[in-house]
Structure 1
Amino acid sequence: MPVSLLWAVDVRGRVYRLSTGGQQWEQCHDTKLEFKRVTAATQCCWGIACDHNIYLNVHASDLSIRYQEETYENQRWNPVDGFSERLLPSDRWQWSDVAGLVHQPLDSFDLPSSGWEWEADWYADENFEAEPTEKGGWTYAMDFPATYTKDKKWNSCVRRRRWLRYRRYKARDSWAKIPSAQSALPDPVSDISCGGWEISEEPRGRLSLWAVSLQGKVWYREGIQHHNPEGSSWTEVPVPGEVVQISCGPGELVWAVLWEGQLVVREGIGRDCPSGTAWTVVDSPSTVGATGVAVGVNVVWAVTKDNKVWFRRGVNSHNPCGTGWIGMVGEMIMVNVGLNDQVWALGSAERGLYQRQGVTASELSGKAWRALSAPRDSERSHSSASTSSLHRQTDTSLSIHKH
């Protein structure tokens, strides 16, 4: 059976993992960083550090993460020099992308972050459409743009060849800062949640990462895939109010809590639109307002300001808003939904960790809370799963994933 991990952050900002195959909390050792939030997926864990930056921890595996960079060298024939880099003013650049629209010299390619390293230097690709070319890798055509062939003809006036270089992601089992160049968030981040891995199997390893800024704005991280675990850029998603917390499930469910205690649900999430199309406002389970929400595949749980726990009826991919709230026994300050819609929570009085018992496909709300106790690897004492917030008081952070 695959191992599942429960991630947590304590009041000192230290990140811990509790494995289904282990008996104690194991600390993720990184003495330079203190964290406020963590959110995990199958292949990685994201965290917000106390320096307000977002960090990524990609789990080590036998499957390497490598990315192919490419650029094209273009030349034109003339009677004096033969084929050379002397192009016409109307031609593309000497070095360009495949369409000839972007200037891409070899020295213009930089590593996205310190988490990457080059495997080797640039080399000319001597294969064209799965067949070997002549030495040098040149392909020929009448003009730019045109149909290229590997054979030189009497009317071949232009030629090009593809250059390749591979980079490998090296930051495994360590916290790597998400690069901010050209993709930084304008405000510090207070909450993050990742999910979406069940929306589509392609492209491989695609994730949805949602972030909430201290000003209550919501952002979506674009381009997270297996060969690009850090993603590429942030896109703001307008929200009808100020958001304080957000939760993203493995499928189409994304819920968020507004400052006033109401909740909003993201509609229109799917394979072709992973960030959705619109928000729908849902009333709080009680008059005191919600403080937290957690979603899974077919479940939504919420906690209100009086520490009451609520379960949302009728939630599924066709009806992400559900039909109504059911009050549950127990007082918690936070809930989190893990694999197979299993539920974890932190008690309001002693900050103890609880698991919801009896959660099945036919009874998603479960039957009762069971307290869990496990020592830390360093302290060998009972581990509360409470975490640090910006003020290091009551906020919490839990996340479950399959390793």
Structure 2
Amino acid sequence: MSVSLLWAVDVYGRVYSLSTGGQQWEQCHDAVLEFKRVTAVQQCCWGIACDHHIYLNVHSSDVPIRYQEETYENQRWNPKDNFSDHLLPSDRWHWSDITGLEHQPLDSFLLPSTNWEWEGDWYIDENFGGEPTEKGGWTYALDFPATYIKDKKWNSCVRRRRWIRYRRYKATDTWAKIPSEGHSGPLPDPFNDISCGGWEISEEPRGRLSLWAVSLQGKVWFREGIHHHSPEGEGWEEVSLPGEVVQISCGPGDLVWAVLWEGQLIVREGITRDCPQGSSWVVVDSPNPEAGAIHVAVGDNVVWAVTKDNKVWFRRGINSHNPCGSGWIGMVGEMVMVNVGLNDQVWGISCVDRAVYFRQGVTSSELSGKAWKAVNVPRDGDIRSHSSASISSLHSVCLLFPCCC
């Protein structure tokens, strides 16, 4: 049975989690770094440490993350050498991908990072279409672009065989550093905010996620290529902006909102399965023109915001056809930040006692809920009574998402 975890960071940079089945905040003892922000999804938790680098903590499971690398060995027949690697100038490489377009010798395959390890050496695949091949794994064809069969014929002029090697992600249940590299080299400045979501956008590839980050200079970056077989992703892509951003929030689907330095908010449009980073921004005014927004949080169908005067606001009219919504509604209570979790449940940190609160009465028909209620549980190792004071040093709370335990 899966449980849900509420992740949080205290003012000392220590990471905690609170399980729906637990009685106290449990400290993440494997964290040797101090953290500023965390953002969690079902399979992992991302965080920004105090060194401004992003780290990834992939939750372990009974089934390890394994990826199959493959390459093809190609040969052509000639009267002198029989089948050999003496190919024609117009042929594909001796070692190539399945299409023959990419040169792929065995020694060209490198581990994506130090968080991976090889499970074994290269071996020949002696299966073809579910049937065993002759010893050696060769399949035959008239020419390289033709259809291959497992049996050699009188007119078989070329042959190929597939080599396979598996690599396994080994950095589970620990914080692994993610390189700050873009397409053109190292990123110009470090990060100070991060948000992960987007798993409802597409089921393919399996476990695909969207990760958005904000740099100290107010730039926004999108992490490309995150999915089950690539938990770290492939690289950072800068996203053009109408202004400098201070904070960003990404929901499970296509909702992405951000806060500008001037206190306005921007909404990402054009997010689809084929374009998860979206195509354009729309500017939305702050709920209070005299006190700009400082924080925004989005879920499936909700947007919450906090302004400089610590007032909390709910955005009405949010749906898949109208990500901008239609207007702001002021809510009772003052918070320094809010966040949205599963089923659009809302969590916040009070500006009065720094305790974590959740929004009571949130339902599909009443997304704004009814009232704030403190989370009254102690921290790991805290000998004080079960009061909100026991978590008063928390300064950042992250989304509530399930983690398989």
Aligned counterpart in structure 1 of residue 294 of structure 2, from 291, 295, 308: 291
Where 2:107 maps in the other structure, the secondary structure is helix
Aligned counterpart in structure 2 of residue 378 of structure 1, from 363, 378, 381: 381
Pair 6,380 (structure 1): closer, same or farther in 2 beyond 3 Å: farther
Where 1:152 maps in the other structure, the secondary structure is coil
Deviation readout 1:366-393 (Å, 9 max, x if unpaired): 1111111221113334013634xxxxxx
How many angstroms apart in 1 are the aligned matches of 2:131 and 2:258? 52
Aligned counterpart in structure 2 of residue 317 of structure 1, from 307, 315, 320: 320
How many angstroms apart in 1 are the aligned matches of 2:383 and 2:122? 52
Give the alignment's TM-score, normalised by structure 1.
Answer: 0.94
Aligned twin of 1:231: 233
How many angstroms apart in 2 are the aligned matches of 1:310 and 1:346? 14
Aligned counterpart in structure 2 of residue 275 of structure 1, from 274, 277, 282: 277
Deviation at 1:193?
Answer: 0.4
How many angstroms apart in 2 are the aligned matches of 1:180 and 1:366? 39
Aligned twin of 2:62: 62
- Letter matched to residue 87 of structure 1: L
How many angstroms apart in 2 are the aligned matches of 1:291 and 1:182? 28
Deviation at 1:68?
Answer: 0.5
Residue 302 in structure 1 maps to residue 271 in structure 2: no
Where 2:391 maps in the other structure, the secondary structure is coil
Aligned twin of 1:141: 141
Deviation readout 1:57-101 (Å, 9 max, x if unpaired): 111211221110001111111222111112222222211111112
Deviation readout 1:207-248 (Å, 9 max, x if unpaired): 111111111111111111111111112222111111110000
How many angstroms apart in 2 are the aligned matches of 1:114 and 1:211? 23
With 60-69 and 140-149 compared, the bigger mean Cα shift is at 140-149
Aligned twin of 2:202: 200
**Contact 1:314/1:324 (8 A) holds in 2:** yes
Deviation at 1:181?
Answer: 6.2
Aligned residues: 395
With 113-122 and 140-149 compared, the bigger mean Cα shift is at 140-149
**Contact 1:311/1:328 (8 A) holds in 2:** yes
**Contact 2:12/2:34 (8 A) holds in 1:** yes
Residue 5 in structure 1 maps to residue 8 in structure 2: no
Deviation at 1:329?
Answer: 0.7
- Letter matched to residue 113 of structure 2: S
1:301-380 matches, cutoff 5 A: 301-380=304-383
Deviation at 1:272?
Answer: 2.5
Deviation readout 1:251-290 (Å, 9 max, x if unpaired): 1111000111110111122223221121111011011110
Pair 12,245 (structure 1): closer, same or farther in 2 beyond 3 Å: same
Where 1:344 maps in the other structure, the secondary structure is strand
**Contact 1:71/1:104 (8 A) holds in 2:** yes
Aligned twin of 1:151: 151
Deviation at 1:398?
Answer: 2.1
How many angstroms apart in 2 are the aligned matches of 1:271 and 1:143? 37
How many angstroms apart in 2 are the aligned matches of 1:361 and 1:185? 41
- Letter matched to residue 115 of structure 2: G
How many angstroms apart in 1 are the aligned matches of 2:355 and 2:382? 16
Deviation at 1:119?
Answer: 1.3
With 197-206 and 168-177 compared, the bigger mean Cα shift is at 197-206
Aligned twin of 2:28: 28
**Contact 1:303/1:310 (8 A) holds in 2:** yes
Aligned twin of 1:390: none
In structure 2, list runs of 5 or more residues that go unmatched: 385-389
